[in-house]
Amino acid sequence: MQEYIEFFQHNMILSLVWVGLLAALIMNIVKSSTMAYKEITAAQTTTLMNRESGLVVDIRSKDEYKKGHITDSVHILPSDIKAGNFGSLENRKSDPIIVVCKTGQTAQESANLLAKAGFENVNLLKNGLTAWSEANLPLVRGKK
């Protein structure tokens, strides 16, 4: 034990960096285990859509949605979700819901709000439509 104390005293900066990394790792583990939603990959998204009647909720702007969206996705703005206007989602509270944005960052708040509103199986497409496109999965273009 004495060796550890000596090491910490002689290498204070290295020791502080190590403690900081350990704290960040613990916080990340706690955060991921207490999230109201689950982050999933593009492959898991297709599985949910095809086998479990999963519904994709696209929260990007109307113009971005028209430029390309996942087949059968529902377009709802984050402001509508904040206001509690879920539209056609209200009937699908027990179905898997996959929230999608461009990069996966802005969808986090909407996913949390949906989970708090009583949706039982809320998921978030990790890295958003960027990951979907990188996996060479199809997008529907134009009006819907």
- Per the CB < 8 A criterion, the answer to whether 141 and 118 are in contact is no
- Opening angle at CA 101, ends 96 and 105, nearest 5: 100
Q: For residue 15, how many other CB atoms are within 10 A of its CB?
A: 14
Q: Any bridge partners for residue 55, and if so which?
A: 97
Cβ 94 vs Cβ 121: under 8 Å: yes
Catalytic residue, candidates 56, 57, 101, 124: 101
Query: Is residue 46 annotated as a catalytic residue, yes or no?
Result: no
| Residues catalogued as catalytic | 101
